[in-house]
Amino acid sequence: MLQVRGVKVRYGGAVLALQAVSLDVPAGAVVAVLGSNGAGKTTLLRSVSGTLADHGGAVDEGSIEFDGTSVVGRPAAELATKGLVHVPEGRRVFTRLTVAENLRAGSFGVRDRARRAAAARRVHELFPVLHDRRDQRAGLLSGGQQQMLAIGRALMAGPRMLLIDEPSLGLAPRMVDRIGEVIKEINEQGTTVLLVEQNAHMALSVASHAVVLTLGTVTLSGAAADLAADPSVRDLYLGIRPETEPGTPTAEATRVPAGTGARLGRWEL
């Protein structure tokens, strides 16, 4: 559904944020992107969703196709009407508007009234609290509820693929679990998900496949279960010290050699 090939991104014509990044998101999958601060995770989502230029960035090389059509240089509003919708980092809800107004804002591009009503029903079933608090200002919601509202607003556009950036950031562990469950449920209802997360526990429990970005390059990719078993992921992202000797190949994840960014993992389509 989404095919990223050899993508190189710079900000301001200078800062190199992604170099030769490639990945696939098959229809129906949840693919997680892991990596530490500054690895390029957010930049990857911006490149796909048409919001890169708003941040002074540009795709210098490579291709990004959604359903076989290039998305590079296309505006976010146009991509949203094609079913590609971004939930940015930081729960950017309209704090002075009510919950209901925030949700309505998500469906501006949807002309069909029946589709808008169906999307609203879906959001209220997934997040009953948003229905209960529909007339309250979004700024009065808790952090977790605001995250639900941000996801709910994106669902109002009727996406076929959701790009979700760091939904667990700053949330209590129980709420992180809840957000993970919701992402699974959204996926089971038929929405494909590309999920950026620093919380590798949550991301790998939700995802079918995952990639690790390191300094703008994909360094590891494979099935989520294989990445969860990989010693470097366990050590760096799950906080579990490897019991094997360093470098012992125990997992099935594909290590992507430096300089071969166009190469894909075992789950290449």
Can you tell me the distance from the alpha carbon of 50 to that of 98, in angstroms, rounded to the nearest whole number? 27
Pairing of β 161-165 and β 57-66? unpaired
Residue 109 engages ligand ATP in binding (rule: CB under 6 A): no
Q: Token pair for residue 70?
A: 């290039």
Can you tell me the distance from the alpha carbon of 76 to that of 49, in angstroms, rounded to the nearest whole number? 6
Residue 231 engages ligand ATP in binding (rule: CB under 6 A): no
Between the alpha carbon of residue 47 and those of residues 22, 23, 59, 91, 142, the distances in Å are 12, 13, 7, 19, 30
- The correct pick among 5, 11, 58, 82 for binding ligand ATP (CB under 6 A) is 11
- The correct pick among 39, 93, 162, 206 for binding ligand ATP (CB under 6 A) is 39
Collapsing DSSP to helix, strand or coil, 229 comes out as: helix
Residue 17 engages ligand ATP in binding (rule: CB under 6 A): yes
Which lies closer to ligand ATP via its Cβ, residue 56 or residue 128?
56
Residue 35 engages ligand ATP in binding (rule: CB under 6 A): yes
Q: How far is the CB of 144 from ligand ATP (least distance, A)?
A: 19
Residue 42 engages ligand ATP in binding (rule: CB under 6 A): yes
Can you tell me the distance from the alpha carbon of 77 to that of 54, in angstroms, rounded to the nearest whole number? 13
Interface map 56-95 toward ligand ATP (x if CB under 6 A):
x---------------------------------------
Which lies closer to ligand ATP via its Cβ, residue 53 or residue 140?
53
- R_g (Cα) of the chain, nearest Å: 18
- Which residue stretch of 33-41, 219-227, 234-242, 256-264 sits at the interface with ligand ATP (rule: CB under 6 A)? 33-41
Which lies closer to ligand ATP via its Cβ, residue 18 or residue 80?
18
Which lies closer to ligand ATP via its Cβ, residue 92 or residue 96?
92
Can you tell me the distance from the alpha carbon of 266 to that of 248, in angstroms, rounded to the nearest whole number? 19
Q: What is the residue-wise DSSP string for 96-154?
A: TSBHHHHHHHHTTT---HHHHHHHHHHHHHH-HHHHHTTTSBGGGS-HHHHHHHHHHHH
- Which residue stretch of 8-16, 142-150, 151-159, 233-241 sits at the interface with ligand ATP (rule: CB under 6 A)? 8-16
List residues binding ligand ATP (CB under 6 A): 11-12, 15, 17, 35, 37-43, 55-56
